[in-house]
Structure 1
Amino acid sequence: MRIRGRLPGASSRARAGVANVACATLMGVCAGVPAPGVVASGASGASSGPAAVPISTLSAELASAFVPDIEVVRLPLAQLVGALPPGPTLRLYAITDQPGLYVMHAPSLAAQGAMFSRVVALIERRDMPHDRVVSMSAVAANARRFGEDPAGLTAGNNFSAAQIAQFFEVAQRQRASLTEGERALQALLTRWGLIHREAGATGEGGTTWRAASSRDFLVTIPGMGKGPAGEVIDAQVRAAILSHELGHWRFFSDPAYAHACRTFWWHQLTHTEREALTGELAGMGYDPSDRIVIDEMQAYLLHTPARFMPLADQPGAGGVDIARVKRGLELSVRNAGRNAGQ
């Protein structure tokens, strides 16, 4: 559910260090953590990687999450891009003409990863358990298998409030300690009224975590700037991430649109094409379940600028023509829209 790779200024090898930095900064549990005050990226004993990042830098960014009365900006979707802050500012936007849609502008890529890496792992990562919260070191080890990292896993995010509440409920049931970033996220979403603790349940202290509404949906994007692995989040990159994540909002909130995408997947693509697309997405680390794959297909093909598109043609009898699939999906969605308007 995030734009993969192709962030300007970072090779795939360099990107692989980003979340090890975030992970070690917050937790001190990744391999190769040096003396207090700085963290080094990559696996233990790695001979190359991005420059060390002061622990105080990320902590200061996350500390802003606890400032009382953080501004919540209410505006229509058309005004969102123009209202995004130019610097490392934490801000929440409530989209007035899209009921249930909230957008979080995180201070940076690393701070966003610090809040969401284990949420991503629980909800949508391939080869990660979906019934328990794993350690940050396990998330980093899994990410390295795909040439990624926990911060890079969350170049942008989209989750229903119910999914985020599920993460905190699972962590509470297994008595897993939350990271600094996760505590910040929990406090933010509780303060903003998207999740809450509900009394009278079977969780810790007789409470459980619940979403305030099944319609609430959170999109997150990083602030502009240079990441610890050299990746550059500029206005163009940030806009591309936002467009991709808003594609997931449409799939979540528009039943006719989602039905058209599912119908296209099952009835217009061949079995070979479905296998090829599933294989590409699974190779990026996505859970290969239909729930994830169909949603990602539409977000990449219809809502992601071409220069950030990770899906590629696979020639031959067992391959897929991405341009042809995109045209077919566009037609399916347009026809569904016309039928809905009749």
Structure 2
Amino acid sequence: MAPLKPSRVQPQADDTVRIIPQTRPRPSGRLWFAAAGLVVLCLIVGAILLWPRPAPLPVVGESTIFHHVGRHFAVFRFADDRQVLVIDCPDLHAQGLMFDRIAALIEKSDAPKDHVISTAAFRAALVAADLTIGTYYYGDDYPARALRKFFRLAQAEHRHLNPQEQRLHEIAAAAGFLKPGAAGAVISIPQAGAGHRVGLRARAVILRHELSHGAYFTIPAYRAFVHHFYTTALTASEQAAFKNFLVRQGYDGDEHGLIVNETLAYLVFTRDKEFFRAEVVGMSDARVAMLRAEFIAMMPDIWLKPLATAPLPGG
């Protein structure tokens, strides 16, 4: 007998309309990452825009700098040459703490030139020379490349920087002077007044002298002119006399550019007998006056030229 087969039951007709929900595709992981990245980017941009920025440095001229009075370090951009920063120091001691070890590395004859002298060794050198931190220099001037050398060596040698040197690093970095190849210069002057060992007249003389160095560092045409004048206008004996004068003050006589720069800064822009007299280099007043006049007549038409004959600030 053939096996029984299940009977086929016809389903009843059903006119119910059914809506079948569609399955939503899940967002891909890439989309989530993109959204999160956009949020983070917005937060970063917002933080940058809202983060307090340091106020721009005041841009001022020689007279304003001279008349500034303060008990703390003040930094200015020189109005006639904004590549020159002027640091007005509270006194000679504070100025020395900020700049003396740079002076030792870059300019002084009795200090190492391949590494930053330690604080202990520097203090011993001061005692041996019968100097103090405040009398090592009365004003300072350095091109950006000298600052880069000092801070690069200090970092490589793990040399501790005092708070004033750290402040100078911040100032130089903010100005862009620590970037490779950056041009610029930093000069400094001390405040005048009781207890500062610097009177108003001396402050004015130092400022004018240092500004001439600023031009030497930032204006190539002026720097070339200074070297040309030194070579062609001064006799060999006059060059030797100036070099000896500077070496007696502790300058490194092997640094030819330093000697040339300082020679013309003293000869032309230091018109005060407390700081420079013709007889200290074996010259007559008439010879010094003649060289000054020739230099001023021939020098490039730059912002420094009027300062060669202008009265000192403060009268």
Distance in structure 1 (CA, Å) of the matches to 2:257 and 2:223: 11
- Match 1:77 to one of 49, 61, 66: 61
CA distance in 2, matches of 1:179, 1:106: 15
CA contact (8 A) 2:278 2:288 kept: no
Equivalent residue for 2:216? 251
1:306 aligns with 2:272: yes
Tell whether the 8 Å contact from 2:75 to 2:86 is kept in structure 1 after alignment: yes
Aligned residue pairs: how many? 249
Q: Is the 8 A contact 1:280 1:311 kept in 2?
A: no
Q: CA RMSD in A?
A: 2.7
- Aligned twin of 1:139: 122
* Alignment pair present for 1:331 and 2:299: no
- Map 1:308-323 → 2, pairs under 5 A: 308-313=274-279, 319-321=282-284, 323=286
Alpha-carbon separation, structure 2, partners of 1:146 and 1:312: 26
Q: Percent identity?
A: 27
For residue 86 of structure 1, what is the aligned residue in structure 2? 69
Alignment check: 8 A CA contact 1:103 1:218 kept: yes
Residue of 155, 163, 176 corresponding to 1:194: 176
Of 160, 164, 172, the residue aligned with 1:181 is: 164
Superposed displacement of residue 70, structure 1 = 7.1
Separation (CA, whole Å) in 1 of partners of 2:73 and 2:54: 8
For 2:266 and 2:155, locate their aligned partners in 1 and report how far apart those are by CA, in whole Å: 34
1:156-206 CA distance string (max 9 Å, x none): 11111221121010111122222232223223333x3334xxxxxxxxxxx
From the two aligned structures, give the one with the greater strand fraction: 1
1:304 Cα deviation (Å)? 1.6
1:287 corresponds to: 252
Instruction: Look up the match of 1:97.
Output: 80
Structure 2 residue 191 is the aligned partner of structure 1 residue 223: yes
> Shift of the alpha carbon at 1:320?
3.8
2:207 alignment partner in structure 1 = 242
What SS is found at the alignment partner of 2:222?
A: helix
Within 5 Å, which residues of 2 pair with 1:46-125? 72-81=56-65, 84-125=67-108
Q: Is the 8 A contact 2:205 2:272 kept in 1?
A: no
Counterpart check, 1:157 vs 2:140: yes
Report whether the alignment pairs 1:272 with 2:237. yes
The CA deviation at 1:116 is 0.8
Distance 1:313 1:121 in 2: 28
Residues 104 and 126 of structure 1, relative CA distance in 2, 3 Å threshold: same
Structure 2: how far apart are the matches of 1:138 and 1:252? Answer: 30
How many Å separate the matches in 1 of 2:160 and 2:245?
Answer: 34
Cα distance in structure 2, aligned partners of 1:86 and 1:99: 21
Indicate if the aligned counterparts of 1:261 and 1:333 stay in contact, CA closer than 8 A. no
Q: Secondary structure at the match of 1:125?
A: coil
> In the alignment, what sits opposite 2:13?
none
**For 2:165, what is the secondary structure of its paired residue?**
helix
Matches within 5 A, 1:22-41: none
Which amino acid counterpart does residue 327 of structure 1 have in structure 2? M
Shift of 1:72: 4.8
Q: 2: CA distance between counterparts of 1:91 and 1:328?
A: 36
Deviates more, 1:121-130 or 1:323-332: 323-332
**Structure-1 separation of matches of 2:98 and 2:280:** 35
Letter in 1 for 2:223: A
For the residues of structure 1 that align with 2:264 and 2:171, how far apart are their CA atoms? 30
Deviation at 1:324, TM superposition (A): 1.2
Q: Which runs of 5+ in 1 are unaligned?
A: 1-67, 196-209
* CA distance in 1: counterparts of 2:135 and 2:55, whole angstroms: 27
**Who wins on radius of gyration, i.e. which is larger?**
2
Which residue identity lines up with residue 222 of structure 1 in the other structure? P
Cα distance in 2 for partners of 1:171, 1:311 equals: 38
Amino acid at match of 1:287: D
Q: Is the partner of 1:151 in helix, strand or coil?
A: coil
